[in-house]
C-alpha cells in the first residue's frame, strides 16, 4: 500500500482528490494539510511514501516543502500539482528533487498512475509544461535581480526596497534597470509581470 499525503489550501480540491485516490486499491491517504509547514510535519509523522503538493500554499510553497522533505524524509517522493505551471516553477521544482509535475486539470486516473510511477523511482512531467519550459529557456535574471524585482512587485518605493534588501537605493536602481533591460520591459511593473508570467519570481 502506497501511503500518500495531500497538501492543498483549497479544501474542496483536496477533499475531492482524497476521495478519488482512495478508490485505488493500492493507495491510501494517510494525511491532509492546507499549509506547507503543516505538510512537512505530517509527512514526517506518518512516514509517507508520496507527497502530492499544491505549488502555492500558505506557510511554505510546494517546492519549499519538497526541498525540506528531501532532507528530513528522503524516502518520500514529491509530486507538484498546480494551476500555475510556469516554466520557471517547473525548473525550480526539478532542482528541488520533485519527481512529478502536473497541471490541476489532470484526471484522477493520471494522478494515481503518476503516484505509482514516482513511488517506483520514476519521474513524470506533463509534456505540455515540459515543452513550455524548454522553449522559455533559463531565467536571464541573477538571484539578486530576481529578489529586488520581487520586492518591487508590491509597488514599494526604491528606499523601502533598499531597506528590505539591505542595499543602497542606487544599487536597487541598478538591479531594477538591469532586470528591465534583460526582460525588454519599459518599466519595473512590466518587468515584474514578465518575470511572474515565466515563473522566474
Using one digit for the tens of pLDDT, what is the confidence trace for 14-33?
999 999 999 999 999 999 99
Q: How far apart are CA 5 and CA 43, in angstroms?
A: 6
Half-sphere exposure of 157 (CA within 13 A, CB side): 2
* Helix (H) / strand (E) containing 7: strand 2-7
Per DSSP (E only), the strands in 17-174 are: 27-33, 50-54, 77-82, 100-103, 124-125
pLDDT of the residue at 85: 66
Q: How far apart are CA 157 and CA 91, in angstroms?
A: 31
Task: Kindly give, in sequence order, each residue whose CB lies less than 8 Å from that of residue 170, ignoring residues fewer than 6 positions away.
Answer: none
Task: Kindly give, in sequence order, each residue whose CB lies less than 8 Å from that of residue 171, ignoring residues fewer than 6 positions away.
Answer: 162
pLDDT of the residue at 133: 74
Are 122 and 101 contacting, i.e. CB atoms less than 8 angstroms apart? no
Domains and CATH numbers, the chain: 2-136 (3.40.50.2300), 143-198 (1.10.10.10)
SS3 assignment, position 194: helix
Tens digit of pLDDT for each residue in 44-101?
Answer: 999 999 999 999 899 899 999 999 999 999 999 999 998 876 777 888 898 899 999 9
The DSSP secondary-structure symbol of 148 reads H
pTM: 0.73
Amino acid at each position: 500500500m502506497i501511503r500518500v499525503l495531500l497538501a492543498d489550501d483549497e479544501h474542496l480540491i483536496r477533499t475531492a482528490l482524497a476521495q478519488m485516490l482512495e478508490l485505488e486499491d493500492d493507495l491510501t491517504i494517510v494525511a491532509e494539510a492546507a499549509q506547507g509547514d503543516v505538510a512537512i510535519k505530517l509527512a514526517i509523522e506518518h512516514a509517507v511514501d508520496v507527497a502530492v503538493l499544491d505549488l502555492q500554499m500558505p506557510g511554505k510553497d510546494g517546492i519549499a516543502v519538497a526541498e525540506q522533505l528531501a532532507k528530513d524524509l528522503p524516502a518520500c517522493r514529491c509530486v507538484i500539482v498546480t494551476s500555475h505551471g510556469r516554466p520557471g516553477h517547473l525548473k525550480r521544482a526539478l532542482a528541488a528533487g520533485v519527481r512529478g509535475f502536473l497541471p490541476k486539470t489532470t484526471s484522477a486516473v493520471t494522478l494515481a498512475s503518476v503516484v505509482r510511477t514516482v513511488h517506483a523511482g520514476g519521474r513524470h512531467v506533463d509534456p505540455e509544461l515540459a515543452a513550455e519550459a524548454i522553449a522559455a529557456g533559463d531565467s536571464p535574471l541573477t538571484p539578486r535581480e530576481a529578489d529586488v524585482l520581487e520586492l518591487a512587485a508590491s509597488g514599494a518605493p526604491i528606499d523601502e526596497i533598499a531597506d528590505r534588501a539591505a542595499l543602497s537605493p542606487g544599487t536597487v536602481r541598478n538591479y531594477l534597470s538591469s532586470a528591465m533591460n534583460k526582460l525588454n520591459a519599459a518599466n519595473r511593473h512590466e518587468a515584474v509581470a514578465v518575470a511572474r508570467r515565466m515563473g522566474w519570481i
